[in-house]
């Protein structure tokens, strides 16, 4: 499947759209393929086995203006570009949009209600947001976001998607997004501040997503989420 076809497929169901760039455009922050691949290698985040983003230097394609890559395997679908200006653009399909209810909940009886898709509270939201923001930190450390970074994180096409939790610690399967509108959070901040706030930003965006699905976590639940996020960062999952 070529990149155009894959991107169309990703956008047909639930997906994340991530954009990271400097607020000051420069056309050649990354002047060649080697510079782009070196940055990708250093910035890629691997906290739980599957990296963010999925990057293999030998599989990435360079066309003189940008480096791009994709994965289309099982329920994993993503397409990304890194431009010579330093702009990062990523379309990341939700695994729960591409897996059947019967397979996802194969050890549950009875099965939860049928929905358009399923979002795991931690794995599909909190953890991926933590990885996205930590990758942005890596881009900043690579010098391509100075002096001020712009970040846009959007969640699309999740009407009738339901939140679920592996051990049902927080709730039942009745937190459902009833809106067609994308969920978006934007940030503009000095790049030298990004590292200090990225994990809290990820938690804040996750809580915003939960609220759209109708779940407003209480303080105890937020503390548990923060503890789980710390375990992810410290690779203790």
Q: Is the pLDDT higher at 154 or at 110? A: 154
Crossing angle for the helix pair 33-43 and 127-141, nearest 10 degrees?
Answer: 130
At 167, the pLDDT band (50, 70, 90 cuts) reads low
**Bridge partners for 117 per DSSP:** 161
2-42 pLDDT, tens digit each: 999 999 999 999 999 999 999 999 999 999 999 999 999 99
178-192 pLDDT, tens digit each: 999 999 999 999 999
Parse the chain into domains and list their residue ranges.
Answer: 3-233
pTM: 0.96
- How far is the C-alpha of 227 from the C-alpha of 84, rounded, in Å? 37
Contact 132, 52 (CB under 8 A): yes
39-84 pLDDT, tens digit each: 999 999 999 988 999 999 999 999 999 999 999 999 999 999 999 9
């Amino acid at each position: 499947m070529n990149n155009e076809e894959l991107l169309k497929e990703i956008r047909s169901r639930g997906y994340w759209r991530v954009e990271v760039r400097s607020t000051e455009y420069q056309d050649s922050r990354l002047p060649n393929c080697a510079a782009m691949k070196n940055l990708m290698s250093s910035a890629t985040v691997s906290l739980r086995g599957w990296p963010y983003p999925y990057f293999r230097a030998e599989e990435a394609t360079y066309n003189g203006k940008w480096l791009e890559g994709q994965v289309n395997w099982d329920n994993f679908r993503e397409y990304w570009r890194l431009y010579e200006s330093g702009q990062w653009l990523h379309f990341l399909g939700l695994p729960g949009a591409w897996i059947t209810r019967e397979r996802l909940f194969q050890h549950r009886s009875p099965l939860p209600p049928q929905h358009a898709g399923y979002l795991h509270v931690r794995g599909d939201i909190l953890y991926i947001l933590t990885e996205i923001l930590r990758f942005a930190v890596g881009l900043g450390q690579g010098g391509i976001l100075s002096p001020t970074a712009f970040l846009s994180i959007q969640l699309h096409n999740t009407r009738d998607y339901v939140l679920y939790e592996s051990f049902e610690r927080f709730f039942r399967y009745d937190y459902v997004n009833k809106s067609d509108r994308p969920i978006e959070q934007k940030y503009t901040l000095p790049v030298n501040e990004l590292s200090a706030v990225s994990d809290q930003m990820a938690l804040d965006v996750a809580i915003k997503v939960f609220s759209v699905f109708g779940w407003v976590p209480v303080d105890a639940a937020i503390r548990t989420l923060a503890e789980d996020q710390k375990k992810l960062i410290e690779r203790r999952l």
